[in-house]
Chains A and B, each alone.
Chain A
Amino acid sequence: MTDRRLGGLSERLEAGRQRLDELPRWKADLVVLLGAVGLTYLVFGVVGLLSGVSTNEITGFLYTVTFFGAVFGLLTLALNLHWGYTGLFNIGVAGFMAVGVYTMAVLTADPTGSPAGFGLPIPIGVVGGVLAAAAVGAVIALPALRVRADYFAIVTLGFSEIVRLSITSGSLRQIEFGDTVYGTGGGSGIRYTPVDSVVPWLLDLPGIGVAGDTLYGIAAAGGVSQSVVNRLLYALVLIAFVVVCYLSLQRIARSPFGRILKAIREDEIVARSLGKNTQLAKIKVFALGCGLMGLAGILWIGSRSLATPESFMPIVTFYIFVALIIGGAGSNTGSVAGAFVFAAFLWEGPRFLRTILRANLDTRSPPTIYDAGVDLLAADPMPLVGYFIGSLDELRWVLIGVVLVVLMIYRPNGLFGDRKEIAAAVDLSNRGGGSNE
């Protein structure tokens, strides 16, 4: 009975996969991406509602998942361009984010603040931050790309730590210039207007203002506050950034330039022997990816009002690698899907689980696992459960480890890494004449 039902399920799955394979590639990508997002929302919504988490909390979680899904999506796309496509093992992602965020912060911070900034409008700050990250990427690329792959990784990791430690260093913390004190603010960070304040500012503009008022009005009628509307709109802005970057990177992937990148990954000497200027391609692609990392940093850390060096620890780079490995290096679709799955289930999942458990179980968290063990011997498992709930943030690491191990065993190429993604602007299978299409 169960066997037959299982058989039916696997048959249906197989049929579904076949139907997916028959779709044009872009449609299949869309189905996969929307499916992953939709399924995640559904799981959070249904599980949340069934276990009695309040609607407010659920929407809060969905917002956070969307937010992190989007910023991680941008970062994995950038890293995929470097590592998945070109084979550049960049483990300095956090450093390039830091360059973007700090440039943006210094450009836009209040001129009377401490440390002071230049008080420029946010869009200029964002563009400046992205350009700075790209420029630093290009400069790093010049010496770094001359060394072999593993040494390249060391150079990028070293760079990202140098950036972080420079920000903390005394000589950059405060730089006096005339009467004002500029600088990075060292360990206590630098304050600025968060980038998501662009949303209410836009809605206040004459012309759009009317639409903004209507939107707020409708929301208020539904019992939703202005700040929630602003947050949701910011999430939409993030999604728009992901969509634009995804489509642009897909075009790069499916172009002669993308072919050169792939060839560099596979065997650079071959690419050079066929007359391709790989050094130039690598510098271009490295600067582009670094700029994108700067942008992602700005949209993430920049939407808080304070940047501190702790936000750019090497561990951030590790998160992005995990997200990319889950999705499948070498595939843009996989990158975005992996980032979203990572944000939902590994990043926010444990916290969501804790909310559910706290809402349903009356647990106190004992101070150490030893105390919990003692209670367990007394046939009372609840303190142990409580202990685990209390340390779910740390258990996230265990979870990430388990996921990586399982993935390496059963799907070493990630969720989408085993797909043939052909680097060409046209369908190569079509062997007929060119002009009659």
Chain B
Amino acid sequence: MSNQQTAAGPATESETAADADTILEVEGLEKRFGGIVAVDGTSFSVERGTITGLIGPNGAGKSTTFNCITGVHKPDDGSVVFDGTDITGQPPEKIANHGLVRTFQIARELPEMTVLENMMLGPKNQLGEDLWRSVLPGARRTVIEQEKTLRQQAWETLEFFEIDHLAEEYAGTLSGGQRKLLDLARAQSTDPEMLLLDEPMAGVNPSLEKKLLDRVHDLKQQGYSFLLVEHDMDVIMQHCERVIVLHQGAVLAEGAPKEIRSNEAVIEAYLGGDV
């Protein structure tokens, strides 16, 4: 009973803020796989220009929630509104083109493409993505011009993420942490409004982790919004403005890191759960 109360408390607070500047609004999201309810009426919102953490014990439905938001899964019920547009059930490519781009829990580099090729794939609406414009002699010139601009951007982004020394390696030869950086750099190169990072620190060594977090903060300064799934509590507590706790597919608590840390329902879910 008290669970609901704590969950409701910060939610009402955030609703007033939501009207001010909400970038992502998830309402009553539901996803079932056969008899298993993975996401059970999750509702939360993310404010523009913040880093919001999404935590919860294993099997809480974090990744499924991510997949439903980004279109990898079609939600059975509920709605997802991004930047004023209802994106519920849209295919991933459409959602990405709205400016909501994700990275993956296990970094999904394109192994037999070089790091640079990976980066060049990112930018939206490239002229040469049109089949004929790439072939016809006159039109190809405009493609080449755009490619030069994109190449420069790609190198700059790689320098920003400090992986430019790997630019011409196959992405498959990178270490786990470097792949995570590449995943983030590639997502950023699409020029999104908001980034959804699925466990960006998993398997990343401490020095690289710091680098990754520094980049996230830099990007936040530039106005990007973040939703972050993470298991490392220190990271969540230190770097997130707001934290959403999922448990058994529903929001258990929501609020500032300090409130979450002292929330008894959260402690019980983490310690008393099957983890």
Contacts and interface: CB of A to CB of B under 8 A. Distances in A.
Interface in B89-119: 91-94, 96-97, 101-102, 104, 108, 110-114, 116-117
B32 to A, nearest CB: 21
A257 B135 CA distance: 10
Contacts of A266: 110-113
Given A262-B113, A272-B91, A252 B129 contact: no
A437 B112 CA distance: 28
A376 interface: no
Interface in A255-285: 255-260, 262-263, 265-267, 269-278, 281, 284-285
B148 A435 contact: yes
Contacts of B127: 256
A265 B112 CA distance: 9
Main SS of the interface on chain A? helix
B126 A256 contact: yes
B155 interface: yes
B149 A434 contact: yes
Contacts of A256: 120, 126-129, 134, 143, 147
A428 B128 contact: no
Contacts of A433: 152
B121 interface: yes
A281 B70 CA distance: 20
Contact of A274 (B101, B149, B154): B101
A267 B143 contact: no
A257 B134 CA distance: 7
A263 B118 CA distance: 8
A272 B110 CA distance: 13
Q: Which bracket fits the contact residues of A? A: 35 or more
A426 B93 contact: no
Contact of A275 (B116, B170, B190): B190
A424 B113 contact: no
Nearest to A431: B155
B130 interface: yes
B110 A276 contact: no
B226 to A, nearest CB: 16
B140 A425 contact: yes
Contacts of A263: 110, 113, 121
B122 interface: yes
A423 interface: yes
Interface of B: 70-72, 91-94, 96-97, 101-102, 104, 108, 110-114, 116-117, 120-122, 124, 126-131, 134-135, 140, 143-145, 147-149, 151-152, 154-155, 164, 167-168, 170, 186-187, 190
Minimum-distance CB pairs A-B, first 9: A434-B148, A255-B134, A275-B96, A256-B128, A266-B110, A272-B92, A256-B126, A275-B97, A431-B155
Given A284-B131, A423-B117, 6 more contacts: A251-B134, A255-B140, A267-B110, A274-B101, A426-B144, A434-B149
